[in-house]
Amino acid sequence: MSELGYYPGCSLSGGGIELDLSVRALAERAGLGLREIEDWNCCGASVAHAVNHELAVALPYRTLALAAGQGFDEVLAPCAACFSRLKGTAVRLGRDPALVARMADVTGRQYSRPVRVLNVIEFVDRLLSNYDLAAKLGHPLAGLKVAPYYGCLLSRGEGIVADDPEQPSAMVRAIHAAGAEPVEWNFATECCGAGFSLSKTEAVIGLGDAILSAAAEAGAEAILTGCPMCHSNLDMRQQTINAAGRGPHRMPVLYLTELLGLAAGLAPETLGLNRHFTDATGIRAGRS
């Protein structure tokens, strides 16, 4: 059985735990082994790049150097922010040998060979194409209408995301494979306020309300994401948004891997659906 390097990132043992649970469960169901990179560190998230451009590269560099040293050609980073930081760094290192040398000096570690970084959409695509997932998908979600929500970091970044940044479609194949139906809507790549959940809660309430409203107007029964920050701002903050007099919204927010896991017959608790703030345990085949 082949193995993929796994970089869960910090959120996946806390607020984003459902993403970790559903990624691991789905990989196991499809027959792909995940092996965690030993002693990985935080990627710097939305903070390091705002205050120190060298730190913002050095932190992901150490993890990439560890992955290379531990023999990984490819690493899965399910969190959209981790993916953007790790892949952005890998792309820059590939273009700039002087940066590689400087980072080796700063970190004391060699980046011995290039490492490819996969996001959660590419991971699901891989399971559908090269592993045994497609054969295990039933139709418990037939007709369920979902709003594919890419947000910022799964739609943008030159050299980082291959999809069309204004009209992304990478999630569509997985949605169809799960038997669900993507809705057309205008907020697929809008920003949710990302790391401002604590420090600019008012802004996050406004942006989240607009996204939740647009999904409901488009007829979606759930929003589909690949980012723990988006999930937190739309799922956990949904009650803050409602308490602020907006909505009221009752929109389940699912990770792409939770949707595929349900289609593959995995139990909601195995995937973490019982841990959401906005009830998502009743997700099943569409209303129509």
Positions in 12-31 near another protein (CB under 8 A): 13-15, 17
CB of 107 to another protein, least distance (A): 6
Establish if 51 lies at the interface with another protein (CB under 8 A). Answer: yes
Of these, 99, 163, 190, 216, which contacts another protein (CB under 8 A)? Answer: 190
Region of residue 171 (phi > 0: left; psi between -120 and 50: alpha; otherwise: beta)? alpha
CA angle 226, 227, 228 (to 5 degrees): 130
Of these, 194, 215, 251, 273, which contacts another protein (CB under 8 A)? Answer: 194
Of these, 47, 134, 172, 267, which contacts another protein (CB under 8 A)? Answer: 47
Give buried/exposed letters for 31-41 (b at 16+ CB in 10 A, else e): ebebeebeebe
Note the residue count of the chain: 288
What is the residue type of 149?
A: Y
Count of residues engaged in binding another protein, rule: CB under 8 A:
57
Q: Cβ closer to another protein: 140 or 163?
A: 163
Q: Cβ closer to another protein: 52 or 130?
A: 52
Establish if 34 lies at the interface with another protein (CB under 8 A). Answer: no
Give buried/exposed letters for 63-72 (b at 16+ CB in 10 A, else e): bbbbbbebeb
Residue of 43, 235, 27, 57 lying closest to 136 (CA atoms): 27
Of these, 106, 142, 218, 244, which contacts another protein (CB under 8 A)? Answer: 106
Contact window for another protein (CB under 8 A) among 47-55, 123-131, 168-176, 280-288:
47-55
User: What is the DSSP code (8-state) at residue 253?
Assistant: E
Binding mask 61-90 for another protein (x = CB under 8 A): -x----------------------------
Helix boundaries (H) for the chain: 17-30, 45-51, 53-69, 80-95, 97-107, 120-130, 172-177, 201-217, 228-231, 237-243, 256-263, 268-271
Binding interface with another protein (CB under 8 A) = 10-11, 13-15, 17, 39-42, 44-56, 58-59, 62, 105-109, 151-153, 156-158, 165-166, 189-191, 193-196, 198-201, 203, 206-207, 236, 275-277
